[in-house]
A and B are shown apart, each in its own frame.
Chain A
Amino acid sequence: MNWETITSSVEGLRTRGTDLQKRIRGLRRRLTLLLAVVGPGIITSNVDNDAGGISVYTQAGAQYGYALLWSLIPMTIALYVTEEMCARMGVVTGKGLSDLIREEFGFRSTFFVMVTGFFVDLANVVAEFAGVAAAMQIFGVNKYIAVPIAAVFVWTLVLRGTNRQVEVVFLIACLFYLAYLFSAILAKPDWLEAAKHTVIPNLRFESGYLVMLTGLVGTTIAPWQFFYLQAAFVEKKVNPRQYPQARADVLFGSVSCMVIVFFIIVCTAATLYVSGHREINDAAQAAQALIPLAGRGAGILFAFGLLNASLFAASILPLSTAHVICEGLGFEAGIDHKFKEAPIFYWLYTALIAVGAGIVLLPHAPLWKILIFSQVGNGIWLPVVVIFILLLVNRRDLMGDYVNTLTFNIIAWVTAITMIGLTLVLTYTAIFQNAPPPVTP
């Protein structure tokens, strides 16, 4: 070997080294770009798996085993399609959904959307605190202790933290959803069977089955989440150049949300359904029933997941609701304002938490009726909001080149109409059949 070959091979190594360095640097740059945007999509989708949601998934698994798993794929698409439109609007216009509704549809429409939103969200907040109470009961904590502590915790977390800190806490809460993955593994399900049912649709025309199906859709896609998602991207000052990252965030969020749903259903299917405990009313009951079947660990993990989900949603819902209402009606809003500057915002926020938690503590609270109301309310509110979204996202004067493409519009409208149809069915059954929708915390 002569010097020339040695130096040239060393040279080659060195260039390869710098190549690698460059590539690492490029990768790191791309990662920072992504991290500057990531958050809203993941948080929003995961909050969908709140107390009410987990109850429905639990029952879906307990009553029908793996048979409803196939619905998760179309639901992921529906979730992604609707959320993506809001993310896009937020990024392109730099305005929140309530701002846009106000500017394009006037005061009166906005007012009604906001007032409905307030009551529906309040009912949802009640459901979240009921979830906290139920989960803590499994850990042996009385609800008169657990709920007030949770309320104070939520209130301070959001008001004392900066936006970024709160977001980090929320992202960690998203990680805790993995509790369901572990409790599913501990339940030793038949993975092959589960996989088969996920890809092969199994539509049955029995009323109970259909109600459960609509319940799944209804709890997964909640109207308030669109306002939250769009506002979060606006708040993060994401610009159109970062839109691909924002879209990736939304996509990842929708998929991860559904993966968690998958594990919840699989877990309960493998235990409760197989052993014949099919009449499960809520998630806390399921956690209790899991203990003898899959071991204490699985039950505790399940209850922990419920607690995490309830607290998580209870932190976001009141904040987002107060924000949206104030923004739409033209009051100062946001935690970066002082109390004096935005009194209505702070009062609304506090009232939502205080009343929501307070109702759960009332000795003879008509929780059942409130939960039905929350679901009916979501059902009535959802079509209105989705139609507003579709009208806005197709406005070229607002969206420029970012309006929906024809294909996207077709998918979006089909999704919207299906969702509207399903929620109407659900609303109908909730009101008239008194077969309470599968939601009970």
Chain B
Amino acid sequence: MQLYATELMGAETYDSQGNFVGRIREFFIEPAEQSNRVAYFLLSRGKFQPLVARHDQVASVAPGTMRLSVGERALALYEPNEAWLAVQKDLLDQQIIDTSGRKVVRVNDVDLVEHRTNGTVELRLTQVDVGLPGAVRRLLQGVVSPGVIRKLQNKLPQRAILWEFVNLIEPDPLRRVKLRITHEKLEDLHPADLAEIMEDLSAAERQGIIASLDEETAAAVLAELDARLTTQIVEKLDPEKAADILEEMAPDAAADVLGGLPKETSEELLEEMPGQEADEVRELLTFDPSTAGGMMNTEFVFVGEASTREEVLQWMREEDLQLEQLDTIVLLDGGAQFSGTVPVARLLLAAPEQQMATLKTEPLLSVATEADEKETFELFDKYNLRMLTVVDQERHPIGTITVDDVVSRLMKR
């Protein structure tokens, strides 16, 4: 039978002799044993100390009453346990992450189903109710009879999330371990979705999630997050962890994060990062964020203009390149100066022996590090660019700006 947590709260409990024991005040799940089973029932007895009934001591459950298969004496006294998930306290009315719908929702009620095993009845969590039926039950429970509520709720639109898609949010790291809460499912979400979820949470909850994600996902999420939040999160992270995450980020994104931090903190984090990456970020930090230099990414693909298509492809296969860098390739002349760009699409269509120099996009466009935002945006607009090369005073290419950087900047205006 389908049961609801709300219907069972306050249920009268009788032991095997039919004596009244107490009322259910809370259920606990023991995630370490089984993630969806109600393992313990807290029975309050007025002025006496509360008792707990274990899942294998329950004979039957119905809305409003529970019968035990043992006598009252077999029940243990209640002792708080951090490794137990309390349905009422930790779940009802709290926010959870719905990993299938990719958003943060608030729990109205918990749906349970009976599971019979040799003479005892176990309750298993099937889904959490986040819609109107749960709300109506919460509101009317104890005021109107359960039968009426059930009739009423059947007319309402259902909104529920299966238990396996529920990701609990627990800011306390120790408790998280005890409750076996992992954020593996979150790592499968798109970083942008995860970032949006994080914006709906409180600071402590955000911190908890970032701290438990792997560095790569954390880096991707931070890059997508509102800059104010990113700064807050990085500042509160353990410096070592923060440096590991920053290392995973593209240098320009890392520079944006560090630029928002107080000087001492950003210096400390840079110290923790490996030398080469730290130097790249340091260099980026010297540019004014509102100029082309402050917008550019220093990780880009460049080849000599004399090389052929085949040589370039061979080289690209061997290098460990990131796909998002592989949109446009920057060409260098003999003096390591900027000589043009080749879109990968054009490379694809070229003959194997064709030289890179002959594939160049016209006109030759580049921008100086100190060029301002407006100038840069206008170039993108005028020439329908997807990428623009940034050059230093000696015309050496030192970074690229991609169209997604431009879009994010424009959105922030």
Contact = CB atoms under 8 A, between A and B. Distances in A.
- Classify chain B's interface size: 20 to 34
Interface in B90-143: 92-95, 105-106, 108, 130, 135, 138-139
B201 interface: yes
B131 to A, nearest CB: 9
Interface string B202-243: 111110000000000000000000101100100100000000
Contacts of A110: 93
Contact of A107 (B93, B202, B203): B93
Contact of B203 (A36, A106, A239, A330): A239
A89 to B, nearest CB: 11
Contact of B226 (A93, A237, A240, A241): A237
Interface of A: 36, 93-95, 102-103, 106-108, 110-111, 237, 239-241, 329-330
Given A95-B202, A239-B232, A330-B130, A102 B106 contact: yes
Interface of B: 92-95, 105-106, 108, 130, 135, 138-139, 201-206, 226, 228-229, 232, 235
B204 A94 contact: yes
Contacts, number: 47
Contact of A237 (B95, B205, B229): B229
B232 A102 contact: no
A107 B226 CA distance: 31
Contacts of A111: 135, 138-139
B26 to A, nearest CB: 13
A108 B139 contact: yes
A94 B201 contact: yes
Contacts of B93: 102-103, 106-107, 110
A93 B202 contact: yes
A239 B231 CA distance: 10
Contacts of B205: 94
Contacts of B105: 330
Given A237-B229, A330-B106, A330-B130, A94 B203 contact: yes
23 contacts: A36-B228, A93-B202, A94-B202, A94-B205, A94-B206, A102-B93, A106-B92, A106-B138, A107-B92, A107-B93, A107-B108, A108-B138, A108-B139, A110-B93, A111-B135, A111-B138, A111-B139, A237-B232, A239-B232, A240-B203, A241-B235, A330-B105, A330-B106
A112 to B, nearest CB: 9
A403 to B, nearest CB: 15
B226 A330 contact: no
Given A94-B205, A108-B138, 5 more contacts: A94-B203, A103-B93, A106-B92, A239-B228, A330-B135
A103 B228 CA distance: 26
A240 B233 CA distance: 12
A347 to B, nearest CB: 15
Contact of A330 (B108, B204, B206, B232): B108
A318 B149 CA distance: 32
Which one of B95, B206, B226, B235 has the greatest number of beta carbons of chain A within 10 Å?
B95
Nearest to A106: B93
Question: 3 shortest A-B CB distances, which residue pairs?
Answer: A94-B202, A330-B106, A107-B138
Contacts of B235: 241
